[in-house]
């Protein structure tokens, strides 16, 4: 495939030749190889396809909310070609066998690749770590997701094992004994503990959905001390504050001052990626208090509008947050996250000037739980390309 006339994130016009699943050449006025499909991208901006560090597809066992096919379709419509899946499934993903089955199914569908993380404690029991010692080398990420590990000694042992085995710990920072009455304190305490453990053991730590000013600063200070800590923020924690939205997500929608602190943490490099925390639920579950929202299909537009249009963040920086930054966190940066010869032919064409209104009913996800319904956003995903093949077109 030859893509012609697109602009890169600096505004320069460029052509891209994609073949054998890789980017073969990038430049201007590239000749059309014999028999190649030509995609006219004039008026559009080309970016590396997006990579999500934090996503839920509900397989196995909870496919009534989302399955791999619908999750893959939602990802492709949002410009994503790779997602990192959480283990809070049924059964809980505590083994490589379950992880491999999910990854293989995503590969079979072919719209979006997936990495399936494994639970820190077996079946989220809060204490058993033996299964970590049996994980094969291709399992690199462990997380307790929305549960968190409450016992400090257990978490310390988990960090020690992770350091020895080259695992990355993904942290949902929440002390569940405190969160019913003070979720801010619950996040901050767990952030402090886990950053300290990362420093103490030298473990690679990724902080999921950082949402408070204090937590962002803890990550900042830990990184300055040389800890191997990275952090993500979600589009909804950047777009909304609690003065204009009451919608149940964990962590909660925060104050305007926290939103400003997250933007500052992005600008100074404390935050290295955007994670959607795409969390499908049925309407009935949401009515009964389930926490979470779908986010794959609104992530780019929400972040582009908030960060680039409203905060003046360069498009190159947003592209980093959604592509090469996540690729670095997930260990994919040798082949994904950049528009350069030799890298995977995963890219997205976006219309930066398109102003559109989010319609929850039109989302590709099986679930429609989004507070972005009715929001007007700039930046529309027009085409997604994975391994040189179109997986989505508007």
The residues annotated as belonging to the active site are 277
CA angle, residues 148, 154, 157, in degrees to nearest 5: 120
d(CA 272, CA 262): 11
Tokens describing residue 155? 């978490």
d(CA 348, CA 346): 7
Tokens describing residue 50? 């997006």
d(CA 292, CA 80): 20
Torsion, Cα of 371, 375, 381, 382 (10° steps): 130
Tokens describing residue 169? 């710990």
Beta bridge partners of 376: 357
Tokens describing residue 248? 């149940």
Question: Cα(first)–Cα(last) distance of the chain, in Å?
Answer: 18
Tokens describing residue 2? 């030859």
Q: State how far the alpha carbon of 198 is from the alpha carbons of 135, 165, 184, 229, in Å.
A: 21, 14, 21, 7
199: preceding bond cis by omega (within 30 degrees)? no
CA angle, residues 139, 144, 145, in degrees to nearest 5: 100
Counting every residue written for the chain, the total comes to 394
Rg (the chain; Cα; Å): 20
Dihedral of CA 122/128/129/133: which sign?
Answer: negative
Nearest partner of 89 among 111, 113, 67, judged by Cα: 67
Q: Which helix (H) or strand (E) holds 16?
A: strand 13-19
């Amino acid at each position: 495939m030859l893509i012609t006339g697109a602009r890169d994130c600096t505004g320069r016009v460029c052509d891209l030749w994609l073949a054998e699943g890789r980017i073969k050449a990038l430049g201007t006025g590239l000749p059309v190889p014999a028999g190649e499909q030509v995609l006219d991208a004039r008026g559009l901006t080309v970016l590396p396809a997006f990579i999500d560090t934090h996503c839920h597809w509900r397989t196995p066992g909870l496919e009534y909310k989302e399955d791999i096919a619908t999750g893959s379709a939602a990802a492709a419509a949002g410009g994503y070609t790779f997602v990192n899946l959480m283990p809070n499934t049924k059964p809980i993903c505590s083994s490589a066998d379950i992880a491999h089955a999910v990854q293989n199914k995503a590969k079979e569908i072919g719209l979006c690749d997936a990495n399936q993380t494994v639970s820190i404690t077996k079946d989220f029991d809060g204490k058993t770590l033996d299964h970590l010692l049996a994980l094969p080398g291709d399992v690199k990420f462990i997380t307790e997701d929305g549960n968190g590990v409450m016992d400090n000694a257990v978490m310390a042992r988990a960090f020690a094992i992770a350091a020895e085995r080259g695992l990355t710990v993904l942290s949902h920072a929440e002390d569940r004994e405190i969160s019913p009455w003070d979720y801010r304190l619950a996040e901050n305490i767990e952030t402090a503990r886990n950053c300290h453990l990362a420093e103490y053991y030298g473990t690679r730590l990724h902080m999921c959905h950082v949402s408070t000013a204090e937590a962002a600063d803890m990550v900042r200070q830990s990184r300055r001390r040389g800890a191997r800590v990275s952090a993500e923020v979600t589009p909804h924690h950047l777009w909304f504050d609690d003065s204009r939205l009451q919608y149940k997500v964990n962590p909660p929608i925060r104050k305007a001052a926290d939103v400003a602190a997250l933007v500052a943490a992005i600008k100074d490099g404390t935050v290295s990626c955007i994670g959607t925390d795409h969390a499908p639920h049925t309407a009935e579950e949401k009515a009964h208090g389930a926490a979470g929202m779908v986010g794959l299909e609104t992530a780019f537009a929400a972040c582009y509008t908030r960060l680039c249009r409203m905060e003046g963040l360069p498009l190159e920086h947003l592209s980093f947050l959604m592509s090469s930054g996540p690729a670095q966190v997930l260990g994919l940066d040798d082949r994904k996250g950049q528009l350069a010869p030799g890298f995977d032919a995963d890219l997205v064409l976006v219309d930066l000037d398109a102003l559109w209104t989010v319609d929850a009913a039109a989302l590709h996800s099986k679930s429609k739980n989004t507070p972005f319904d009715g929001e007007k956003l700039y930046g529309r995903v027009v085409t997604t390309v994975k391994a040189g093949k179109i997986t989505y077109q508007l």
